[in-house]
A and B are shown apart, each in its own frame.
Chain A
């Protein structure tokens, strides 16, 4: 079946850039998403990208899509303590979302 993979943890220093990576298997995916989940909370959509785009920027967030390699990344510039959360990558495959396991972003002072 379709699969989405992410590393489980990323540790960065406050003020540095964070880059969270994701790989997926469904080459026919139309949309790819990044969701953020803070402790005890629901999932918040951060951004999404259509498969015919290779980059999308929104304030501190930059999404890069390499469709050939089926690789998606989320860059957070100037990482702050409030960015500490689990970040889920998801691809749209047929009628539903296929989720990665989530990357826990840890901010070091």
Chain B
């Protein structure tokens, strides 16, 4: 299995809703990432987990809350989002601990989020 699976593919939510994005990989990767991508822009790093511990938080607002229940799963909990948070949210994983080796990232197909 060489894939990163993200669910749901599309999500529409109101500003008062609570929802979650999910990510799963079974490649034995020990680093997992959340990126946010706006249309026609490069991805922006949000969070990095290394060995199930949060190692990087790129000053992301607290309305985004990551969780890594185990080495295969990564969640992003969403609460009280704003319309400007609408974007494609990409999950990625890499075999190496963040910062070492080639650290090739394997990306999921993304979850497209629309906040009304």
Task: List the interface of chain A (C-beta within 8 A of B).
Answer: 31, 33, 35, 40-45, 48, 50, 86, 88, 90, 92, 94-97, 99-102
- A43, B102: Cα distance in complex, Å: 17
Asked if B87 is at the interface of the complex by the 8 Å CB criterion, the answer is no
Judge whether A42 and B99 touch: CB under 8 Å.
Answer: no
Interface of B is mostly: loop
Q: How far is the CB of A74 from chain B (nearest CB, A)?
A: 16
Using known A-B contacts A96-B56, A101-B41, determine if residue A42 contacts B105 with beta carbons closer than 8 Å: no
Chain B residues contacting A42 (CB-CB under 8 Å) are 4, 6, 90, 107-110
A43/B107 contact (C-beta < 8 A), A99-B43, A100-B42, A101-B42 known: yes
| B57 CB, min distance to chain A CBs, angstroms | 12
Given contacts A42-B90, A44-B107, contact A96 B42 (CB under 8 A): no
Complex A-B: 29 CB contacts under 8 Å = A31-B102, A31-B103, A33-B104, A40-B112, A42-B6, A42-B108, A42-B109, A42-B110, A43-B43, A43-B92, A43-B105, A44-B107, A45-B104, A45-B105, A45-B106, A48-B104, A90-B42, A92-B102, A95-B48, A95-B99, A96-B45, A96-B98, A97-B45, A97-B105, A99-B42, A99-B43, A101-B42, A102-B40, A102-B42
